[in-house]
Amino acid sequence: MNLNLRSREECTFDAVSLGEIMLRLDPGEGRIKTARSFKAWEGGGEYNVIRGLRRCFGLKTAVITAFADNEVGKLMEDFILQGGVDTSLIKWMPTDGIGRICRNG
């Protein structure tokens, strides 16, 4: 078996991550049980690495994942774009509104 690697100039991205991206809801100083508002943060092992490569080293990075085609999915895409990571490889899935067909990540 041969492993043929392309040169850096032939590649669109320096690094790509494949996996789930989660939305973390942070109630701040309060308890989650009684919270009425949250700060939202994106995260996940693979995503944290790819965003770090973009932020710390200026690499061209992208994520491969699937999101529900709804407002929560669009919010997550916006967080990723704010981190400078390309979102063109995201697969947008139809949603039934309750997560039986597709869940974000």
Q: Does 32 map to a domain?
A: no
Q: Is the pLDDT of residue 95 over 90?
A: no
Buried b / exposed e over 3-38, threshold 16 CB at 10 Å, is eeeeeeeeeebeebbeeebebeeeeeeeeeeeeeee
Domain count, the chain: 1
Among 21-35, 54-68, 71-85, the least confident range:
21-35
**Tell me, what's the pLDDT at 21?**
94
Task: Say if pTM beats, i.e. exceeds, 0.85.
Answer: no
Contact (CB, 8 A) for 18 and 39: no
Position 86 scores a pLDDT of 98
The string over 44-80, giving b where at least 16 C-beta atoms fall within 10 Å of a residue's C-beta and e elsewhere, is bebbeebbebbeeeeebbbbebbbbebeebeebbebb
Range of the structural domain that residue 49 is part of:
9-27+37-93
What integer pLDDT is reported at residue 96 of this predicted model? 74
Q: Is residue 105 part of a domain?
A: no
- Assigned domain for 104 exists: no
The reply to whether 17 falls in a domain is yes
CATH number reported for the structural domain that contains residue 73 in this entry:
3.40.1190.30
Q: Is residue 88 part of a domain?
A: yes
- Residue 50 within a domain: yes
Q: Hey, what are 104's tokens?
A: 């974000």
Q: Is residue 102 part of a domain?
A: no
71 within a domain of the structure (yes/no): yes
